[in-house]
């Protein structure tokens, strides 16, 4: 995903109230990351869009927990409602 698309994604959802993610301007250009990792939240959605399963994503990014992924999904549903 391009930098422009990532900025758009960040504006679509205010992740600041989601306990599974955090942001630090000095890490990964200030992208929203799964807490305790350097894995951007957008990576989850890009991988799913590319055909990966949640299990594959968790295998490829071992620092991310299933609970974090589920929290992001739930937060996304609530933010869109």
pLDDT score for 3 = 52
pLDDT score for 13 = 85
- Rounded CA-CA distance 57/30 in Å is 22
SS3 content of the chain, % helix, strand, coil (to 5): 60, 10, 35
Helix (H) or strand (E) holding 21: strand 21-23
Q: What is the mean pLDDT of residues 2-26?
A: 77
Q: What is the pLDDT of residues 18-72, one digit of tens each?
A: 999 999 999 999 999 999 999 999 999 999 999 999 999 999 999 999 999 999 9
3-state secondary structure of 22: strand
Task: Compare 16 and 9 and report the one with higher pLDDT.
Answer: 16
Q: What is the pTM of this model?
A: 0.84
- Rounded CA-CA distance 37/58 in Å is 12
Identify the CATH class of 3-80.
mainly alpha
Q: Which two tokens stand for residue 76?
A: 């996304």
- Rounded CA-CA distance 35/5 in Å is 22
- Give the start-to-end residue ranges of the domains of the chain: 3-80
């Amino acid at each position: 995903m391009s930098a422009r698309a990532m900025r758009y994604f960040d504006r679509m959802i205010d992740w600041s109230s989601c306990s599974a993610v955090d942001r630090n301007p000095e890490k990964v250009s200030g992208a929203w990351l799964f807490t305790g990792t350097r894995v951007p939240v957008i990576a989850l959605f890009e991988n799913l869009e590319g055909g990966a399963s949640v299990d594959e994503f968790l295998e490829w990014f071992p620092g991310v927990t299933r609970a974090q992924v589920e929290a992001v999904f739930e937060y996304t549903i609530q933010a869109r409602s």
